[in-house]
Amino acid sequence: TLWISVLCGWHNVQTAERACEEQRVLFSRKSEYCIGAQIICYPHRRIIYDKVGQPGSLHDQRATSLTVVSDIPGVFFDPGQYVLGDTAYSCCFPFILTPCKMPASAKPRNKTFNWSLAQQRIFIEHVPKARFPVLDGIRERIRDENDVMNVSMKFVSCLFFTCALTVRIPLMYITPTTKTEEAVE
């Protein structure tokens, strides 16, 4: 089983004095300037795919359609595997399992299904945010594409660090000692 998570609270970014075309595309439906992230991870929180840096104005469904996962899902998923997503992904991707919508969601069985699905998605969405609260609102000035890349790289660095901690890499690989450090002591 694989899960998808679009992080809640896309990354807030501060704009320059004059709005340029790049900044307008970053303006989201929530009236914030932001950069989006699409993350796919296993239930044990190991991240297997991320796409960071899409404009905040993109709908989740459109942002996912621009990923390599939507182009060649067979590379990422075996038959019978699926991804948990929210209603923003409904009907467009055969490998994404989404909550039931009204009127079907009013049935008791579907309410239970939707609740269970939401619990799992929320758990995964909070994985990077719990370890790196700064991801809830990175405050950066976006003037051009290089600034977008810098913010994206900060986020990706946090994702890789989270992944390294989840995989439990031996400590000797995380904190190597050098001759200069030993000489100073």
For the stretch 90-119, pLDDT in tens is: 667 777 778 888 888 889 998 998 888 888
Which band of pLDDT confidence, cut at 50, 70 and 90, is reported for residue 17?
very low
For the stretch 66-99, pLDDT in tens is: 788 888 888 877 777 777 777 777 667 777 778 8
Q: Do 43 and 58 contact (CB within 8 A), yes or no?
A: no
Alpha helices (H) in 11-140, listed in sequence order: 21-25, 60-65, 68-71, 73-76, 108-131
Q: How far apart are CA 88 and CA 61, in angstroms?
A: 6
Establish how many alpha carbons lie within 13 A of residue 171's alpha carbon, considering only the half-sphere containing its beta carbon.
1
Which band of pLDDT confidence, cut at 50, 70 and 90, is reported for residue 168?
very low
Which band of pLDDT confidence, cut at 50, 70 and 90, is reported for residue 63?
confident
Q: How far apart are CA 21 and CA 147, in angstroms?
A: 14
Structure tokens at 140: 């950066």
Mean pLDDT, rounded, for 143-166: 70
pTM: 0.62
Q: How far apart are CA 57 and CA 44, in angstroms?
A: 31
